[in-house]
Structures are given as C-alpha cells and as structure tokens.
Amino acid sequence: MSGLGTRTKKVTVYGRKKAQIISIHNDFSPAKPLSKDASLSPSPPPATRPPLRSKLSSDASNIPPTPSLPRTGKVTGKALLSTPDFFEPEVIVLKPRKVTRPGKKVIPRKSVSPATPEQTKSSKTKLKKSPREVFDGVVIPISSSKAIRDISVDLSDQLANITLSGDQVDSNSTTADLQLLVESCSSTSTDSFDGFFESSTFLQVVFGVRSGPAVVHKIGEASYSEVFAVNVNGCDEVVVKVIPLLCEGIVTSVENREQPDCSSPADVLRELEVTKRMTNTPGGGFARFIGAFNVEGTYPAKLLSAWDEYKFTLGSASVRPDSFSAKQQYALVVLSHGGPDLEMFQFDRITGWMQAASVFWQVVDALSRAEDWTKFEHRDLHEGQILITSCSPNGESSTSALDPAYSGVRATIIDFGLSRLDMPDRTAWTPLPEELYDSIGDQWDVYRSMKDQIAEDWSGYHPVTNVMWLHYLIRYLLHSCGLRKPSGSAKSTNSALRPSRGQAKTKVENLKKEHATKAWEELVKVEAGLRTSLNMGKKVRGKSAERTRTFECAGDVLIWGQKEAWVEV
C-alpha cells in the first residue's frame, strides 16, 4: 500500500523479474563452399568487427550466416525478422510469457501465429517497447545444404511440441475460485465499477450513509494493485486497494496496449481471509479490515484522474490502468487508513528519536501478541509495510514507548501476502518467489537469511524470521529515516542537553531532548543485541551476556525490553 514515486519504493514486486533474449549475432561471414581437396579451416573474421559481437567458431564451415534480432521495439509472437537474400529463415514462435509469482497466471491477449513475409516490414515500425514480455522463439537459418536443412526441420519439429505449462490456467479452477471470492465479499453481487464509490452498496457498508459525493485520491501502489483514499461527507478516510483479477476465457485488455499485472482469484481470496484474521488480533496493531467488493468494467475516469495526478507529483512505476475492457473484473479491499508508510513519514525534529523508538516497540509488541495468538510470521516487514499515524502526545500520562499518547505516533502493520499464520481450519503460508533472492540490499539479505533459516519449510512455524525483520527495522530507523544522531549523546547525555551560548532552553524542551537522547541510545543497544543474536556482522563490544543473547521470536525481544525498563506492558 505504500506510495511509489520518483524514489524507488521497497515494495515487494512479484513477477517483475525479466527474462532476457539471447541474441544470435550476424557478424559471421557467409560460409564459402569448400572444394573436395580443401581441408576444413575457419573462415576469416570480418575486416571491421563491431563491438560486443559473438566470437567466431574454430570451425565455421558448417555454420550458416545467422540474422540478428531487431533492436527496436518489443519482439512479440507476431514479429518476424528481415532476412538476407542468401537463405530462407524458418521461424518457430511460441506464445509470449511472463515470469510471475507463484499463483499468478497470465493470459496472452491474442493467439500467436507465424507472420507472413509481407508483415515483416510493417512489424518493424509498429512495435512498441514493453519490458513485460519476452520472445519465446528460435530463429533457425536454413542454408542450401540439404543436410543442414534436415537437421533444422528435426529441431523445429521438437520445438513445436514444446508447451509452456507454467502459463496455462485451469479454467474450471479459476471460475470456482472467483465464485468463492465473490461469496466472501461484503456484497455477493458483481456491481459496475463506474460510480461504485458513490453507490448505496459501498456507502452503507463502509461509511454507514446512503448517499454523498466521494472524494478520491491515489496514495500508493503495490505490485498487483492501485491504492486510493476515499472520503465521503467528511467521514474518516478509508483505503481501497483495487486489484485487477485474472479471469479465464476472455481477453480483458485493449488490443496492442500494455496491461497491468492481474491477480488470481485464489490469491485475493487468501489475502481477504488472512486480513480478516489479523484484524482480530488481541490488542490491535494490524490493518483493520472494513469490507470487500467485486466490480466489473473499465477503470473509472475519476480514478484515472487521481492516478495521473499521483504520477505527475510523485511519479509512478505502474502501468496506467486504462487498457482494461468492459469485461474486466476487480476486487476492492477496503481497510482503515493507517497514515503514510515509514519511508514517507516525517519525524519530529526534537522528539524524532522518541517517535522512532515508539514505532519499533509498537511493532515488537504487535508481533509478539500475534505470535502467541496465531503463530504469526510476517516474512516481509520492510519500511513500506509499516504505517504511521500522528496523534496528540500527552507526555504526562506515561513514559512507555508503547503508549502513542506519550510518543505522538501510532504504528500499524499491513500487507500479509507472504505471511505465515494458523487459520482456524488450516495453516496459511506462501513460499517466497525465487526472484526475491536475486537483488542486492539489506531487504533482500533478509529474504536470503530467511531461506537459509527455514530451509524450504515454508509451512512450518519459524518466529525467528520476525527477529530478522525487527533487526532490519531498527537499522532502518537508526540510519535511513532522516534523523540526526544526538550531539554528544554517546558520551554524555548532559552534554547533549547543555544550552547553546546566549540561548535559554525551557524545562519542557530540555526534557524532550533528554528523552530523545535516551531513546537513541536505547535503539543502539537493541540493534547490537539483535545483530549478535542473529550472528549478523562483526561482534560488538559489550558484556559477554549480551554477545551470547539469543532471541527466538519477537516475544523474546519484548521481554528483554521490559527487563531493561525500556518498555512497560
């Protein structure tokens, strides 16, 4: 749900790893016929060799000239390559595919068939660039040699029999999952998307009113959804995730237009069930589920206008969702508005470290309660999955970091797409997509550490993964949230509180700075303890007991905080 803009959001992006085309270059000189007495010898290379071209084989006598793939535009199943005059190419084309997250299926827009030579010239000018599809085809050059032609025919026969089972969708299963999804929504009917936010069905369930103009603006985007905030008649704003559904049997996108990623009804159904379950966590701390709906139609003009405004102001990594046809179906998931995510939130200049410590301990407390209640592991708790709401600080009722009235912030955990938890009748879990292990950075280091820890037992309960993400979170708070280290805090608290010359500091301001300094020092100690417990990085200086401390779950971290008098439960 977190907003993506010109900055790169660390939102988990499923199915966006791109397979690349292995291009067969044409920098070989045409093979010249050999006389019967001539021995086989390599053909000489071209006089001027283009950069980054393929190296000549040691025996080029049996290698026919090979055309290069076109360098402009998107290569689709309908595109053919222009070929030299000295041979006739045979093209075997398979259907386009996407590399997607498990459970995400892709339906080709149109059936793919080989093009005629007359289409070659026009295809070069009409191709549009799209990083979402790759060309699953093989260009086999055929020379006049009968022996090579026979080999090519045999190879093309074998390739023609290859099927890409990963892209095939079970029509009966998809239809059944869609029906189950509709039955689990707040309304069991499929309504028109256009004007739905002002319909009585939506208003009564979400706001408890019968009519009113809806004010809509986009606040974020995820891998498979757009996220909007909706307000009616001054009521509390809610968040609506718009998730396009993958529907079998119909082509849902406008021809020749790039389409946003869609989700299978089974994946959305699981998300609904898990979100409802986490809403009931004792003590809260997780996104509150309000309702869900199934709608059909093109994207409403009001939402497209909000999408354009978001892209103009913050930028967007998503595809504009205007290519869906009138038969496209969507799931609308309505949640409470938890504020901006941790990456977008602006901490207070004076009390920022108090707020940061409060966010951390609130997340620890929520995870600890969820572990006890439903054996919960989030498994994807980066800064985009934590929302922060500002509230009026009291400062006198409590000095506990768990009290929003003390710190002025309230943290909410969202997005359970990769989570593991016990449901009343089963265990809900999802294996991590393989593409998450390929990137570089602290967030992706955690994915790899989880894989090493879990050892493919994704359905099992391994709460140490929560500790891994808590360590990631505290490192982000210390180094990446824009707060400055308190001056002189590592040596002496009093020195950081000493007023500058010629300035009078009030007692309240000094007290706030003192609490902020203590909060920073507390976070530094917690980070060191978590790091050594997880065997991450070098050993830190300190007591031997601190170096050997072991945290198996978030509950252990909370107990440690209580013993150190950092939090009061």
Sketch the domain layout of the chain as residue ranges: 14-31+47-168, 171-336, 352-563
For the stretch 508-530, pLDDT in tens is 677 778 888 999 999 999 999 99
The band of 235, judged by pLDDT with boundaries at 50, 70 and 90, is: confident
Q: Are 373 and 281 in contact (CB under 8 A)?
A: yes
Nearest Cα residue to 559 out of 456, 467, 488: 467
What's the pLDDT at 422? 96
* Contacts of residue 455, Cβ cutoff 8 Å, sequence gap at least 6: none
CA 114 to chain centre: 35
Q: Which CATH number is correct for 352-563, 3.40.50.460, 1.10.510.10, 1.10.357.10, 2.40.30.10?
A: 1.10.510.10
What's the pLDDT at 375? 97
Q: Are 322 and 236 in contact (CB under 8 A)?
A: no
Which of 106-110, 217-221, 281-285, 333-337 has the weakest average pLDDT?
Answer: 106-110
538: helix, coil or strand?
coil
Q: Is the predicted pLDDT of residue 447 greater than 70, yes or no?
A: yes
Which of 69-83, 225-239, 443-457 has the weakest average pLDDT?
Answer: 69-83
Tell me the average pLDDT across 93-106.
44
Q: Is the predicted pLDDT of residue 456 greater than 80, yes or no?
A: yes
Q: Are 388 and 295 in contact (CB under 8 A)?
A: no
What percent of the residues of the chain are helix, what percent strand, and what percent coil, each to the nearest 5? 35, 15, 55
- Considering the chain, what is the average pLDDT of its residues? 74
Tell me the average pLDDT across 471-491.
84
pTM over 0.85: no
Phi-psi region of 28 (alpha: psi -120 to 50; beta: other; left: phi over 0): beta
Q: And the tokens for 125?
A: 């000018």
* Contacts of residue 158, Cβ cutoff 8 Å, sequence gap at least 6: none
Q: And the tokens for 520?
A: 């920073």
* Contacts of residue 254, Cβ cutoff 8 Å, sequence gap at least 6: 323, 324, 325
The CATH architecture one would assign to domain 171-336 is 2-Layer Sandwich (3.30)
For the stretch 106-156, pLDDT in tens is 444 444 444 444 544 444 444 344 443 333 333 334 444 444 444 444 544
Q: Are 337 and 237 in contact (CB under 8 A)?
A: yes
Nearest Cα residue to 104 out of 185, 166, 175: 166
CA 189 to chain centre: 30
**What b/e sequence results for 27-56 when a residue is b if at least 16 CB atoms lie within 10 Å of its CB, and e otherwise?**
bbeebeeeeeeeeeeebeeeeeeeeeeeeb
For the stretch 27-67, pLDDT in tens is 444 444 444 444 444 545 544 544 544 444 444 444 444 44
d(CA 178, CA 180): 5
